[in-house]
Structure 1
């Protein structure tokens, strides 16, 4: 049963200009027609370039950003239509771990006050002692000592502050947690501990996660289903193993070709797709397929004018590409002028290709020439 369903969700920010009176002259199409479903107890991973709308979508689910149109159905209730007071009460069941832990913590409150504030607002814990016992238990589970209760956010490292953010979400005993880059501020060794902790908590508390991340290895490790976003739209969605084994959308194929392989011989001799051109502005997205300006397999007429729908290609693998079947079958070949396929051949002494320009970097540093996942 689906715990969370998004139906054609759009979040558009108006662009205003004027000297004496502001007038709307356009919109930034941050999220433009997202439909997806998250099953109870599942982890849904969301990846995409910086500026593609991942965080905006996560904030829209909690209505921290206004929803322009569409439905956000959580456990049978359309959150987009709830009055403000009912939405406030519903937020106990929906929590968010923010990307910037320092910016999300009140510097004037100590850790006990920060964590107890939400509990008191939602009536969790009979008194201060009961809330303190619960807070101490959660702090221990996220790897912080009980002595942290009297300290302030500036006294902790970035990684410790992120764990405080995780604890703040957990003390309210939510059903769904939006994790916006939950481990990006942590050391590699601590990342593994926190990811294992999130999985352990999911099993013991029946949690459901929507994980927003740029590290493809993190997303693969923790996610059951992965959605790939590009310029405010979902271009591919599939079970984690299926997506990594056989990416179908040209954008996803370019991302996966940039992920380093732990085998040095295979890494030096494998093909890579280097995308050309800059990411279009979300204030003026291209007509037709959003990716056609950088797509190696672009076909002039249809791709330029007709926006593809997410189509199920079997096994829950959905792709928004007119020619996904032809690309997978190899009957449609890429155009090398748009995205040359570079083969490392150290045996012949050829130099490896230079890193892609800044505009070619893919999701938040995990794209061609900038991949960090393994």
Structure 2
């Protein structure tokens, strides 16, 4: 049995409307039926574009948001069914490293107070002195000096604050740590240090991670298994190397094609998949396959009506796509463009509409004009190429002023000149 198992997890947020009495008029389907397993001592990576439900799924594991439906089983215990007090005691085995290292730390508490707060709540350590010694040992593991205990969060850099967040999770000796974008707010050089630190701590302490990120390079470096989410659902799951070597879902193919390759020749030759359309709203997701409105291989007769389930294609590679094998073999033809024409197909129509107005100076058109001017009138008002070839001289400017205000005195004209 896996250490952590999620089965059909759904998190739906109600949409309320009303002045005196709130009534539910709909739901936001943030997470809609996610099932996955995390083995002890491994790192499970969750990737996907912003708004796909990664963070909500991570928070649901810790019951920081209510689970609408489904089960979250940690070492044989279903967390979704635990009452409040039991869940509070059980939460010691589950900890979280938040995305914003500064926002997750209380600015009014020093580091010792921040780290000892959870230890006191869960009864870790006999007294403050014992807790202080343990905190010093944890700070040493994450690369911070012991004199940091009396300092406050604003006195540290971003990378150091994230190390404090990791230390806060470690002092309770958890079984699973959920890392929500642990390095996205850090510089690239500091990102590498934090990722290497997480690797070292995992080997030393036997930790299990669930890493939520949108940086595919970070996830590949640290993860054993990767799950790809789209609009609240898991669309593909595979071992890290297999997923990057041979993605099978159309959405994963598009994600991987967006990763830059540090070789100019390879970068110029490789296929780039550009998706058409916008991400649908999680409050009104498409029927059938959630990705069919943007999928280059979608078939309306099936993709728009039947929702695909995750199925194993061998080697632990699971894909939620009706035509994964046909796409892989090249037997399925494209129904939408995937190159640059995918984002430029509408530009020609815009150019044709404005082509007749391209030579009309803006000053000749009224500000609220919605129709094209008469072509003959435009030709009369637009100066020829010979007339417009040179700059206007001071004499020409003076003649215009005279024509506009013939009653001005000579003295005024001299001031203007």
TM-score, normalised by the number of residues in structure 2: 0.80
User: In structure 1, what is the equivalent of residue 322 of structure 2?
Assistant: 322
User: In structure 1, what is the equivalent of residue 396 of structure 2?
Assistant: none
- Partners in 2 of 1:196 and 1:104 — Cα distance? 22
User: In structure 2, what is the equivalent of residue 80 of structure 1?
Assistant: 80
User: In structure 1, what is the equivalent of residue 338 of structure 2?
Assistant: 340
**Aligned partners of 2:2 and 2:39 also within 8 Å:** yes
- Partners in 1 of 2:99 and 2:196 — Cα distance? 19
Q: Which residues of 2 match residues 262-281 of structure 1 at below 5 A?
A: 262-281=262-281
**Aligned partners of 1:294 and 1:339 also within 8 Å:** no
Q: CA RMSD in A?
A: 1.3
- Partners in 1 of 2:242 and 2:333 — Cα distance? 22
CA distances 1:300-342 after superposition (whole Å, capped 9, x unpaired): 110001000001000000000000010011101223xx34235
**Aligned partners of 1:73 and 1:79 also within 8 Å:** yes
Structure 1 residue 184: Cα displacement: 1.3
**Is the strand fraction higher in 1 or 2?**
1
User: In structure 1, what is the equivalent of residue 4 of structure 2?
Assistant: 4
Structure 2: runs of 5+ lacking an equivalent: 345-417
User: In structure 1, what is the equivalent of residue 211 of structure 2?
Assistant: 211
Q: Which structure would you say has the larger Rg?
A: 2
CA distances 1:90-141 after superposition (whole Å, capped 9, x unpaired): 1111000011222211111111000001011111112111111111121122
**Aligned partners of 1:7 and 1:72 also within 8 Å:** yes
- Partners in 1 of 2:338 and 2:310 — Cα distance? 27
- Partners in 2 of 1:7 and 1:46 — Cα distance? 16
CA distances 1:248-295 after superposition (whole Å, capped 9, x unpaired): 000000011111111111112211011111100000000000000000
- Partners in 2 of 1:152 and 1:339 — Cα distance? 54
- Partners in 2 of 1:240 and 1:5 — Cα distance? 19
User: In structure 2, what is the equivalent of residue 16 of structure 1?
Assistant: 16
Secondary structure at the aligned position of 1:73 is classed as strand
- Partners in 1 of 2:334 and 2:238 — Cα distance? 23
Whose relative contact order is higher, 1 or 2, with alpha carbons under 8 Å and at least 6 apart?
A: 1
Q: Quick one: structure 1 residues 49 and 132, their matched pair in 2 at CA, closer, same or farther if it must change by over 3 Å?
A: same
- Partners in 2 of 1:113 and 1:44 — Cα distance? 31
Structure 1 residue 148: Cα displacement: 1.4
Secondary structure at the aligned position of 1:10 is classed as strand
- Partners in 2 of 1:334 and 1:161 — Cα distance? 48
Aligned length, in residue pairs:
343
- Partners in 2 of 1:201 and 1:26 — Cα distance? 44
**Is the helix fraction higher in 1 or 2?**
2
**Aligned partners of 1:312 and 1:319 also within 8 Å:** yes
**Aligned partners of 1:177 and 1:210 also within 8 Å:** yes
**Aligned partners of 2:72 and 2:79 also within 8 Å:** yes
Secondary structure at the aligned position of 1:92 is classed as helix
Runs of 4+ aligned structure 1 residues displaced above 4 Å come to: none
User: In structure 2, what is the equivalent of residue 369 of structure 1?
Assistant: none
- Of the structure 1 ranges 72-81 and 258-267, higher mean CA displacement relative to structure 2 is found in 258-267
User: In structure 2, what is the equivalent of residue 202 of structure 1?
Assistant: 202
TM-score, normalised by the number of residues in structure 1: 0.90
Structure 1: runs of 5+ lacking an equivalent: 344-352, 355-374
Secondary structure at the aligned position of 1:305 is classed as coil
